[in-house]
Amino acid sequence: MAVAIRLSRLGQRNRPFYRIVATDKENKRDGRFIEMVGTYNALTNPPAVTLKEDLVKKWLERGARPSRLVEDLIKKNFPGLIEQRKENKIKKIQDRRKARKQRAKAAGKSSKKSKKA
């Protein structure tokens, strides 16, 4: 089950109000959701955003993928949270590549020795 953090629309016609929810990616936009993470009202100036930091962190740690708008809202309200996660992910990938190259290099040296003998 892939979890997404996205907007769910509420409100009257021409007066939208959104919930920020963690939901199964295949559910409908306004359908069932797992947990409400915050709210977003685009009609106010500036737009009113409330996010529960502990719930956002919990779902991001569990692998939930935010939509573009929700990702931008998280970046504005909790600077460094998403960027830090992306940096850690890149660092892990780079470390794995280094380890793989070292193993290949070591395997190449050992195979050369066996060929000489």
Which of 32, 60, 10 shows the shortest CA–CA distance to 51? 60
Percentage of the chain lying above the pLDDT 70 cut = 93
Q: How far is CA 40 from the centre of its chain?
A: 18
Which of 92, 58, 88 shows the shortest CA–CA distance to 74? 58
pLDDT in tens, 63-108: 889 999 999 999 888 888 888 888 888 999 999 999 999 999 888 8
| CATH T-level fold of 1-79 | S16 Ribosomal Protein; Chain: A; (3.30.1320)
Res 46 pLDDT > 80: yes
Beta bridge partners of 66: 5
Name the amino acid, one letter, at 40: Y
User: Residues 14, 22: contact at Cβ < 8 Å?
Assistant: no
User: Residues 17, 32: contact at Cβ < 8 Å?
Assistant: no
